[in-house]
Amino acid sequence: MRLAKYLASSGVASRRAAEELIRAGRVTVDGSRVTDPARDVSGGEAICFDGERVQDSSSRVVYAVNKPAGVISTASDPQGRRTVVSLVPSASRLYPVGRLDLDTTGLILLTNDGELAHRLTHPSFEVPKTYRVVVTKGPVRDRALRALRDGVRLEDGMSAPARARRLAPDTLEITIHEGRKRQIKRMLEAVGHRVSRLQRVRFGSLELGDLRPGAFRRLTAGEVAELSREAGEAVRRGAATSS
């Protein structure tokens, strides 16, 4: 396995960030500084980042968390605000898989596996994310639904088509596979509706279910394998489309 991939799968950083850390001379293998991200390692070596031994990738963990409003989706915050990582007591170095806005609630994943996090969040892998959306001024008309399904023009370009269905006059369920900043809110604004409540209810095959706000659970090995499989299938779909 290449050294950069090993660091990513062990939760040190994403693969791209791991490559930069290696080039910066912050990684050693059996006591020797290594600056080549493509260096092959077996995992049996003493691999250290900034002098600290890197955990083997077999210790990978993934948690599902129901993020409450007012909690930020980062590992730390210089302003001292409560973070989603602080909700999960763990000896592993965890960081969020993507982000939810401060006032957005619902399902977010935490992991120490940078490679898995990269595959689950990068738009090229097209892992779907489903949200329940309540707007301030219903009803949401068929014309707005059609626009969301076709894709709407945002200031940073057209959105990809979304799956959208009406649950109530003022409530929608929307599934997207992109991850632009405030994307759901901006898409609804583009079709004439302001979001009053937004909750993520599904990430890939994983559902929020009855997990209460602020609570968490560790995913089973089968659930993690299914998420990895979904991301892998998305990679193959993209390769087939471009060939």
3-state per-residue secondary structure call for the chain? CEHHHHHHHCCCCCHHHHHHHHHCCCEEECCEECCCCCCECCCCCCEEECCEECCCHHHCCEEEEEECCCCECCCCCCCCCCECHHHCCCCCCCEEECCCCCCCEEEEEEECCHHHHHHHHCHHHCCCEEEEEEECCCCCCHHHHHHHHHCCEECCEECCCCEEEEEECCEEEEEECCCCCCHHHHHHHHCCCCEEEEEEEEECCEECCCCCCCCEEECCHHHHHHHHHHHHHHHHHHHHHHC
Residue 58, pLDDT score = 57
Q: Is residue 117 part of a domain?
A: no
Residue 243 pLDDT greater than 70, yes or no: no
- Residue numbers of the domain that contains 164: 128-203
Q: Is there a single domain that holds both residue 134 and residue 83?
A: no
Q: Please indicate whether residue 157 or residue 114 has the higher confidence score (pLDDT).
A: 157
Residue 177 pLDDT greater than 70, yes or no: yes
Which residues lie across from 83 on neighbouring strands?
A: 72
Q: pLDDT tier at 105 (50, 70, 90 boundaries)?
A: very high
Residue 237, pLDDT score = 42
Residue 154, pLDDT score = 95
Q: Is the peptide bond before 161 cis (omega within 30 degrees of 0)?
A: no
Q: Is residue 236 part of a domain?
A: yes
Q: Is there a single domain that holds both residue 78 and residue 96?
A: yes
Q: Is residue 33 part of a domain?
A: yes
The average pLDDT across 236-242 equals 41
Q: Is there a single domain that holds both residue 26 and residue 71?
A: no
Residue 43, pLDDT score = 75
Q: pLDDT tier at 241 (50, 70, 90 boundaries)?
A: very low
Residue 23 pLDDT greater than 90, yes or no: yes
Count CA within 13 A, CB hemisphere, residue 15.
13
pTM: 0.74
The average pLDDT across 194-208 equals 96
Q: Is there a single domain that holds both residue 80 and residue 135?
A: no
Q: Is residue 118 part of a domain?
A: no
- Per the prediction, the chain carries an average pLDDT of 88
Q: Quote the number of domains for the chain.
A: 3
Q: pLDDT tier at 222 (50, 70, 90 boundaries)?
A: confident
Lowest mean pLDDT among 47-61, 79-93, 189-203: 47-61
Q: Please indicate whether residue 243 or residue 165 has the higher confidence score (pLDDT).
A: 165
Q: Please indicate whether residue 243 or residue 94 has the higher confidence score (pLDDT).
A: 94
Residue 54, pLDDT score = 80
Residue 6, pLDDT score = 85
Residue 230, pLDDT score = 82
Residue 93, pLDDT score = 82
The average pLDDT across 128-156 equals 95
Residue 175 pLDDT greater than 60, yes or no: yes
Q: Is residue 135 part of a domain?
A: yes
Query: Which residue numbers are catalytic?
Result: 101
